[in-house]
Amino acid sequence: MTTEEKNILTQSNKKPSEVVINIEGLKKSFGANQVLNDFELKLYKGESVVVLGKSGSGKSVLIKCIIGLLQPDEGLITIFDQNISQLDHEGMDKLRAKLGFLFQGNALYDSMTVRENLEFPLRRHWLKVSQKEVNTMVLEALENVGLAHTVDMMPIELSGGMRKRIALARTLILRPEIILYDEPTTGLDPITGKEISELMVEIVDKYQTSSLIISHDMNCVRRTADRIILLLDGRCYAEGDFETLKNSKDKNISQFFES
């Protein structure tokens, strides 16, 4: 792909505003496998960016580096102008309170009820919060995802779609400014996947959150993306909105939109 073509594709529906996540020259390898190689990304406030790429292309590694679960080999990650590599544990925890992370497998705590699952991040990040406030926030978060009746149920009693919604409610409870989604519709049927995608759009509208979404699901990508970044060989190969990339003649890009 030529630079000119790439520039043409670098167009988004939304006008850039404040940068909330800035990544420059990110490198991460596992042994001889170079997963991320000089990866660059800017996420603007209120924007939803989808990172698209083949399995094993390093998409999940990328968001795990952003949230601090993996340490990059090289490069700069700044979130709200804070260089995360210079933050200590306490600083990182404070920053994480502004970030939500929806895990691919939901990562609900099996030994806790839905209420306890939602209370956990609240109690950990906001130490001085009364039980009454906690109850209100838990119910509000569950109402946001339409599952207030499951408050005393165990995760094992819920369907896959319900678990995903509960995980989303847990992510939302701290009112994060940025939400990172790791394949939010994987393993769900098309109808539930559509519901989750719509919920993600509602969240952006309601809370003005910025979103970084890792996904293979083109229906989810079409519904949620303001801008798409195609990850290939550890780098940003192409960038643009859904329609622009869909109409691209480049085989590396068009193969994602063929199905």
Strand, helix or coil for residue 69: coil
Residue 169 is a binding residue for another protein (CB under 8 A): no
Which span sits near another protein by CB under 8 A: 18-26, 30-38, 61-69, 183-191? 61-69
Q: Which is nearer to another protein, 97 or 232 (CB)?
A: 97
**Residue from 23, 51, 67, 245 binding another protein (CB under 8 A):** 67
| The token pair that represents 159 in the structure block | 């369907």
Q: Which is nearer to another protein, 9 or 67 (CB)?
A: 67
- Could you tell me if 1 and 199 are in contact, meaning their C-beta atoms sit under 8 angstroms apart? no
**Residue from 69, 71, 83, 233 binding another protein (CB under 8 A):** 69
Q: What crossing angle do the helices spanning 131-144 and 160-172 adopt, rounded to 10°?
A: 130
Gap between the Cα atoms of 221 and 227, Å rounded = 9
Q: Which is nearer to another protein, 105 or 146 (CB)?
A: 105
Residue 157 is a binding residue for another protein (CB under 8 A): no
CB of 69 to another protein, least distance (A): 5
Among 236, 184, 246, 254, residue whose Cα is nearest residue 43: 236
Distances in Å between the Cα of 32 and the Cα atoms of 35, 108, 156 are 9, 33, 39
Q: Which is nearer to another protein, 104 or 252 (CB)?
A: 104
Residue 121 is a binding residue for another protein (CB under 8 A): yes
- Could you tell me if 239 and 61 are in contact, meaning their C-beta atoms sit under 8 angstroms apart? no
What residues line the site for another protein (CB under 8 A)?
A: 64, 67-69, 89, 93, 96-97, 99, 101, 103-105, 107-111, 120-121, 124-125
